[in-house]
Amino acid sequence: MEKSKMHKEALSRMRVLQEKFDLNPKILKNLEDEKLYYSYRVSGWSFGCIDTIDYDELYEEEVRAFEEETGNYVYHVIETKIMVPVCTVDIGNMEISNLERGENEPITMLTFLYVSPYEEDWSTQRLEDDYLFAYVVNLGEQGSDCCDAYFGEYGYVYLTSDCGALLRRA
Protein backbone atom coordinates (compact mmCIF):
# COMPACT_ATOMS: atom_id res chain seq x y z
CA MET A 1 0.00 0.00 0.00
CA GLU A 2 1.13 3.53 -0.70
CA LYS A 3 2.51 5.36 2.30
CA SER A 4 0.59 8.49 1.28
CA LYS A 5 -2.73 6.66 1.69
CA MET A 6 -1.68 5.35 5.11
CA HIS A 7 -0.55 8.87 6.09
CA LYS A 8 -3.94 10.27 5.08
CA GLU A 9 -5.67 7.65 7.28
CA ALA A 10 -3.28 8.49 10.15
CA LEU A 11 -4.19 12.18 9.88
CA SER A 12 -7.87 11.29 10.00
CA ARG A 13 -7.34 9.17 13.13
CA MET A 14 -5.27 11.87 14.80
CA ARG A 15 -7.96 14.47 14.14
CA VAL A 16 -10.47 12.23 15.95
CA LEU A 17 -8.04 11.76 18.86
CA GLN A 18 -7.30 15.49 19.01
CA GLU A 19 -10.99 16.32 19.14
CA LYS A 20 -11.87 13.68 21.75
CA PHE A 21 -8.88 14.19 24.04
CA ASP A 22 -8.08 17.88 23.49
CA LEU A 23 -4.53 17.13 22.35
CA ASN A 24 -1.77 19.64 21.77
CA PRO A 25 -2.23 20.92 18.17
CA LYS A 26 1.51 20.46 17.54
CA ILE A 27 0.93 16.69 17.36
CA LEU A 28 -1.39 16.95 14.35
CA LYS A 29 0.50 19.85 12.76
CA ASN A 30 3.75 17.93 12.79
CA LEU A 31 2.11 14.69 11.67
CA GLU A 32 0.92 16.63 8.61
CA ASP A 33 4.63 17.21 7.92
CA GLU A 34 5.34 13.53 8.66
CA LYS A 35 7.06 14.29 11.96
CA LEU A 36 6.26 11.82 14.69
CA TYR A 37 5.55 12.88 18.27
CA TYR A 38 5.33 10.84 21.43
CA SER A 39 3.47 11.54 24.67
CA TYR A 40 4.72 10.79 28.17
CA ARG A 41 4.35 11.73 31.82
CA VAL A 42 6.95 13.90 33.57
CA SER A 43 7.77 15.22 37.01
CA GLY A 44 6.94 12.16 39.03
CA TRP A 45 4.22 11.25 36.55
CA SER A 46 2.21 14.30 37.57
CA PHE A 47 1.48 15.75 34.11
CA GLY A 48 1.61 14.88 30.41
CA CYS A 49 4.13 16.18 27.91
CA ILE A 50 4.99 15.70 24.23
CA ASP A 51 8.18 15.64 22.20
CA THR A 52 9.40 14.52 18.78
CA ILE A 53 10.32 10.86 18.60
CA ASP A 54 13.90 11.69 17.65
CA TYR A 55 14.39 13.16 21.14
CA ASP A 56 15.06 9.57 22.23
CA GLU A 57 17.20 7.65 19.76
CA LEU A 58 16.09 4.25 21.10
CA TYR A 59 12.43 5.14 20.62
CA GLU A 60 13.07 6.28 17.08
CA GLU A 61 14.93 3.02 16.33
CA GLU A 62 12.07 0.96 17.79
CA VAL A 63 9.52 2.73 15.61
CA ARG A 64 11.67 2.36 12.50
CA ALA A 65 12.23 -1.36 13.15
CA PHE A 66 8.51 -1.96 13.77
CA GLU A 67 7.53 -0.15 10.57
CA GLU A 68 10.13 -2.00 8.49
CA GLU A 69 9.21 -5.39 9.92
CA THR A 70 5.42 -5.00 9.64
CA GLY A 71 4.78 -2.43 6.92
CA ASN A 72 2.67 -0.49 9.42
CA TYR A 73 2.75 3.31 9.62
CA VAL A 74 3.16 4.66 13.18
CA TYR A 75 1.39 7.99 13.72
CA HIS A 76 1.84 8.44 17.48
CA VAL A 77 3.72 6.80 20.36
CA ILE A 78 2.84 6.78 24.04
CA GLU A 79 5.57 6.15 26.62
CA THR A 80 4.38 4.49 29.81
CA LYS A 81 6.63 3.77 32.79
CA ILE A 82 5.38 1.37 35.43
CA MET A 83 6.86 -0.07 38.57
CA VAL A 84 7.14 -3.85 38.79
CA PRO A 85 8.37 -6.06 41.62
CA VAL A 86 12.01 -7.07 41.42
CA CYS A 87 11.91 -10.76 40.73
CA THR A 88 15.33 -12.21 41.48
CA VAL A 89 15.36 -15.50 43.31
CA ASP A 90 18.44 -17.63 43.87
CA ILE A 91 17.06 -21.10 44.51
CA GLY A 92 20.51 -22.60 45.01
CA ASN A 93 21.34 -20.32 47.93
CA MET A 94 17.75 -20.06 49.19
CA GLU A 95 18.01 -16.26 48.96
CA ILE A 96 14.87 -14.43 50.00
CA SER A 97 13.07 -13.03 47.01
CA ASN A 98 13.03 -9.27 46.66
CA LEU A 99 9.31 -9.67 46.03
CA GLU A 100 8.88 -10.32 49.75
CA ARG A 101 10.75 -7.10 50.56
CA GLY A 102 8.49 -5.04 48.35
CA GLU A 103 11.26 -3.71 46.09
CA ASN A 104 10.19 -2.35 42.71
CA GLU A 105 11.90 -1.16 39.56
CA PRO A 106 10.63 0.81 36.56
CA ILE A 107 10.05 -0.63 33.12
CA THR A 108 9.24 1.34 30.00
CA MET A 109 6.57 0.45 27.49
CA LEU A 110 5.95 2.14 24.17
CA THR A 111 2.48 2.04 22.66
CA PHE A 112 2.50 2.44 18.88
CA LEU A 113 -0.65 3.86 17.33
CA TYR A 114 -0.39 2.72 13.74
CA VAL A 115 -2.11 2.28 10.40
CA SER A 116 -1.92 -1.19 8.89
CA PRO A 117 -1.06 -1.58 5.21
CA TYR A 118 -4.24 -3.69 4.96
CA GLU A 119 -7.15 -1.34 4.48
CA GLU A 120 -9.63 -4.03 5.50
CA ASP A 121 -8.13 -3.83 9.05
CA TRP A 122 -8.57 -0.08 9.44
CA SER A 123 -12.08 -0.12 10.89
CA THR A 124 -10.92 -2.34 13.79
CA GLN A 125 -7.90 -0.11 14.52
CA ARG A 126 -9.77 3.16 14.88
CA LEU A 127 -10.83 4.77 18.15
CA GLU A 128 -13.91 3.21 19.75
CA ASP A 129 -15.13 5.03 22.86
CA ASP A 130 -11.82 5.50 24.75
CA TYR A 131 -9.83 2.59 23.32
CA LEU A 132 -8.15 1.48 20.12
CA PHE A 133 -6.04 -1.35 18.75
CA ALA A 134 -2.28 -0.76 19.08
CA TYR A 135 1.08 -2.46 19.42
CA VAL A 136 2.86 -2.26 22.79
CA VAL A 137 6.56 -3.00 23.13
CA ASN A 138 8.09 -3.56 26.55
CA LEU A 139 11.59 -2.12 26.57
CA GLY A 140 12.46 -3.51 29.99
CA GLU A 141 15.00 -1.57 31.99
CA GLN A 142 18.77 -1.45 31.66
CA GLY A 143 20.33 -3.69 34.30
CA SER A 144 17.00 -5.17 35.33
CA ASP A 145 16.96 -8.65 36.83
CA CYS A 146 13.47 -9.32 35.60
CA CYS A 147 12.61 -7.39 32.49
CA ASP A 148 15.69 -7.24 30.27
CA ALA A 149 14.03 -8.87 27.30
CA TYR A 150 12.21 -6.74 24.78
CA PHE A 151 8.85 -8.11 23.80
CA GLY A 152 5.67 -6.76 22.34
CA GLU A 153 2.09 -7.62 21.57
CA TYR A 154 -0.98 -6.31 19.82
CA GLY A 155 -4.13 -5.45 21.72
CA TYR A 156 -6.60 -2.81 22.79
CA VAL A 157 -5.44 0.06 24.99
CA TYR A 158 -7.56 2.58 26.86
CA LEU A 159 -6.62 6.22 26.40
CA THR A 160 -6.83 9.45 28.31
CA SER A 161 -5.01 12.77 28.11
CA ASP A 162 -3.32 15.32 30.30
CA CYS A 163 -1.96 18.76 29.38
CA GLY A 164 -2.47 18.02 25.66
CA ALA A 165 -0.58 14.70 25.75
CA LEU A 166 -2.24 11.40 24.84
CA LEU A 167 -1.68 8.79 27.56
CA ARG A 168 -2.63 5.23 28.39
CA ARG A 169 -5.18 4.69 31.10
CA ALA A 170 -4.89 1.78 33.53
- Digit-coded pLDDT (tens) for 121-147: 999 999 999 999 999 998 865 444 444
Q: In which element (H, E) is residue 135 found?
A: strand 131-140
Amino acid at 11: L
User: Do 104 and 84 touch, CB atoms closer than 8 A?
Assistant: yes
From 33-42, 70-79, 83-92, 103-112, the region with the lowest mean pLDDT: 83-92
Q: Which residue blocks in the chain are alpha helix, DSSP H? A: 3-21, 25-32, 57-70, 98-101, 122-125
The predicted pLDDT at position 152 comes to 86
pTM for the model stands at: 0.84
**Domain ranges within the chain, ordered by starting residue:** 3-168
